[in-house]
Structure 1
Amino acid sequence: MKNSRIICLLFAISITIFGCKKKEIQDGDLSFGLHVKDGKYLADKCDNKIILRGVNMGNIYAVNFGLKELEEIEKTGANAVRIVLEKQYKDYSKGGVVTALTAEKIEPLIKSCIEKGMIPVLELHDYTGSADISADLPKATQWWITGEIKTLLLRYNKSIIINVANEPDNGNASAATYRDVNIRAIKTLRDAGYNCPIMLDASGYGKDHTIFISQGKAILEADPLHDLLFSVHAYWPTVGLYGNYSDAQITDNFKALKQSGLPVVFGELAVADIQNAVSYKINYKLLMSLCQENEFGYLAWWWGFNNNPGANNLLSMTNDGLFNGLQDGGKTIAVDDPNSIKNTSKRVCK
């Protein structure tokens, strides 16, 4: 009888252990770190819902890789920074000589963000606007799983988001092609050991939200961890060179994305769409309001530069890279609006 009780106890323990392990993997592994809860929303290691509120930072264009700028971004209360990376960058500490990006350069950015309670969203910018996503997205994926880059990032698997490639389609790809090539990219990253959330940009330079409505569920189901974020770049001007977006249409777009049930992020939200050096105004306040209403993340494009002011442009939130230098729409997005980063951001648990 005693032996039988011991056997039953051991059996019960094994069921509990393996049952929990299975659930953790399915839910993104709560003990692991950042995860997409039930395929619906981003959560931290404490299982708190995290709605991304932050900015894009062009670290590869900044002197000292933008470490000073990260200190300034922290003052907004941002809980995330989308870090622009390229395989080759101009090393301004050496007169702008083109240099291969190394893990040694990336790690301080990751550590700085984590120390400040900001999620590093790492994105590869090389294949922006690709006319052949089938050829170029695999190239981007390969970079993430090669050598020292993979070794570094796997050490931070609990704390990062991988944005495979920035806007890797210019609108040429069919829905089926977009779906299949992204599914292959996800499989490659998972097979390489990445258990972190993976962010995918929409087709058509990130602007075509309908690709997620038609293909998002299939892509999500293909990920064994269901640990994906679907990123729209909302260059939707009221009157623009490549399309006009009324407030009613934008609201309908949000409704459709909400009804999809997918974990949606607006990975680039800006005050204007710049085309051929012309600024086409976007109703960014409406976008911010709808993001808050629908619990969608947003990341403003982009912060601005302190030590490389020549990299600033019409969309720089601050022309000196400093918090006190925030101006106009950048200040509105970061601080002043009721739906600003400062007013709505909640940071991850530690």
Structure 2
Amino acid sequence: MNALPLYVSILFFCVFTSCKKKDETKPDKDVTTGLHVKDGQYLADKCGNKIVLHGVNMGSVYAVNFGLKELEEIEKTGANTVRIILTQNYQDWQNGGKLTIVTGAKIEPIITSCLAKGMIPVLELHDFTGTTNVTNDLPKAIQWWTKPDVKSVLLKYQQSIIVNIANEPDNGAASDVTYRDANLTAIKNLRDAGYTCPIMIDAPYYGKDYVFFLYQGKALIDADPLHNLLFSVHAYWPTNGAFENYSDVKIRDNFKALKQSGLPIVLGELAAADIQNGLAYNINYRLLMKLCQENQFGYLAWWWGFYNNPDANNQLSMTNDGLYSGLQGAGFVIAYDDVNSISHTSKRACK
């Protein structure tokens, strides 16, 4: 039998080997080598252990030295995570409050400090809180995350961090479709930029509208080529608020619906009160903590408090001097003095 012509042989080789069409449904990266969302349902560490986030929010951009002292104190709670509040610019209190750009070099010590203490850094951008135009402003957040100096640092640690695209980037003005599409574009742009870490998305309407995830959560996960998303609800659900009331029955129903969704849910902000028009309206935070534990949802308390910048403290600060020994009231309860507190429930990721 005569041999096939050379060009025919090459054609067959291409068709059956290197010229095969790429399967676009398969991720390009193996995210299981670091923090990852398993089966679109829960966060897991690189060892495959389920990680339920229990920690606090910490205002790095309002703290002296970006809160490195505060991180030492937060570690004493046993927290397995800290949500780090960032802005594109900050007032450098070590240099007279000069307005200064937040750079990757400024962020890196926070990341390394958290990781050295066994706490997962959740990095969030705070500039677009309560925006009236998420379609316009979420791309600005992505521009910041993909700045060369910021991106180069974060990609070094992305097996161990979570990126929270933007804090509460909607004041209730966006429709579900608008909010979904803005986040779909943001997810795609972050993945195209090389981010493979878990991406956290806040609910619309200042993070409170958990129902959005019930209807749009699966579409967001399916659209992410890595299926590596976390959904954050900010549970400012006061018992008798100025605008809304949340009975214990209503809160239980909310949790039931979230649990039945099977989605990877975390309460990205849990507080003792909702501040409305300058007044504090009490939240049944103990019930929130209990239901988080029963449903294996994580929670991050709002917020820690400041050591060298006490003027930044307010009525929701867990400690007014930034020290573990200064924990007071609800802050003490959330951090330590409850069966569902951080100290009693937090388990850290494997190293």
What is aligned with 1:30? 32
Query: Is the CA contact (8 Å cut-off) linking 2:31 and 2:197 kept in structure 1?
Result: no
User: Within the alignment, does 1:96 sit opposite 2:100 as a pair?
Assistant: no
Matches within 5 A, 1:320-339: 320-339=321-340
Displacement after TM superposition at 1:327 (Å): 0.5
Is the Cα–Cα contact under 8 Å of residues 103 and 148 in structure 1 kept in the other structure? yes
Q: Deviations over 1:29-61 (max 9, x none)?
A: 322x00001111000011100000000000100
Percent of pairs with identical residues: 68
Task: Name the counterpart of 2:276.
Answer: 275
- Does residue 185 of structure 1 match 2:164? no
Q: Retained in 1: the 8 A contact 2:202–2:233? A: yes
Q: Which letter maps to 2:194?
A: G
Deviation at 1:23, TM superposition (A): 11
* CA positional deviation for 1:104: 1.3
Distance 2:338 2:165 in 1: 31
TM-score normalised to structure 2 length: 0.92
Report how far residue 142 of structure 1 moved: 1.3
Q: Secondary structure of the residue that 2:32 maps to in structure 1?
A: coil
- Once the two structures are TM-superposed, the CA of residue 26 in structure 1 deviates from its matched residue by 8.6
SS at match of 2:305: coil
The one-letter code sitting in structure 2 at the alignment partner of 1:29 is: V
CA distance, structure 2, for counterparts of residue 89 and residue 331 of structure 1:
29
**CA contact under 8 A between 2:29 and 2:196: conserved in structure 1?**
no
Could you say what secondary structure the match of 1:216 adopts? helix
- Aligned-residue offset at 1:27: 9.5
Query: Partner residue of 1:220?
Result: 221
CA deviations on 1:186-232 (whole Å, 9 max, x unpaired) are 00000000000000000000000000011111111100111000000
Distance in 1 (CA, whole Å) between partners of 2:297 and 2:25 is 25
Instruction: Indicate if the aligned counterparts of 1:102 and 1:149 stay in contact, CA closer than 8 A.
Output: yes
Offset at residue 147 of structure 1 (A)? 1.3
2:32 is matched by which residue type in structure 1?
L
- Asked if 1 retains the 8 angstrom alpha-carbon contact of 2:55 and 2:81, the reply is yes
CA offsets 1:248-269 (integer angstroms, 9 cap, x no match): 0000000011111100000000
3-state SS of 1:30 partner: helix
String of CA shifts for 1:268-316, please: whole Å, max 9, x gaps: 0000001122000000000000000000010000000000000000000
Alignment check: 8 A CA contact 1:28 1:227 kept: no
Shift in Å, 1:320? 0.4
| Unmatched 5+ stretches in structure 1 | 1-21
Q: How does 1:165-180 map to 2 (within 5 A)?
A: 165-180=166-181
Q: Quote the residue 2:249 is aligned against.
A: 248
Encode CA deviations 1:138-179: one digit per residue, 9 max, x unaligned: 111111011100111001111100000000000000010111
Following the alignment from structure 1 to structure 2, what is the Cα–Cα distance between the partners of residues 30 and 181?
A: 27
**SS in structure 2 of the partner of residue 90 of structure 1:** strand
Q: Distance in 1 between matches of 2:118 and 2:39?
A: 24
Amino acid at match of 2:267: F
Alignment check: 8 A CA contact 2:40 2:221 kept: yes
Cα deviation 1:49-90 (Å, max 9, x = unaligned):
000000000010001110000000000000000000000100
**Counterpart residue number, 1:6:** none
Q: Does 2:58 match 1:48?
A: no
Partners of 2:68 and 2:243 in 1: how far apart?
36
- Residues in 1 aligned to 2:122 and 2:198: alpha-carbon distance in whole angstroms: 10
Aligned counterpart, 1:287: 288
Provide the rounded CA distance (Å) in 2 between the counterparts of 1:216 and 1:59: 30
- Give the letter aligned to residue 330 of structure 1: G
Question: Do residues 199 (structure 1) and 182 (structure 2) align?
Answer: no
Aligned residues of 1:86 and 1:101 also touching (Cα < 8 A): yes
Give 1:109's aligned residue: 110
**Which amino acid is the alignment partner of residue 198 of structure 1?**
I
CA distance in 2, matches of 1:166, 1:93: 26
**Partner Cα distance (1:257, 1:82) in 2:** 22
Q: Structure 1 segments of 4 or more deviating over 6 A?
A: none
Count of equivalent residues: 328
C-alpha contact (below 8 Å) 2:26/2:225 kept by paired residues: no
- How do residues 104-143 of structure 1 correspond to structure 2 at under 5 angstroms? 104-143=105-144
**Deviation at residue 110 of structure 1 after TM alignment:** 0.2
On the 8 A contact 1:157/1:194 being kept in 2, the answer is yes
- Matching of residues 71-82 of structure 1 within 5 Å: 71-82=72-83
Q: Kindly provide the amino acid, as one letter, of the partner of residue 255 in structure 1.
A: K
Which SS does the other structure have where 2:179 is aligned? helix
How far did 1:181 drift? 0.8
Aligned equivalent of 2:310? 309
Letter in 1 for 2:31: D
Q: Which has the larger radius of gyration?
A: 2
Q: With the length of structure 1 as denominator, give the TM-score of the two structures.
A: 0.92
**Aligned-partner Cα distance in 2 for 1:30–1:273:** 37
Which residue pairs with 2:6 in the alignment?
none
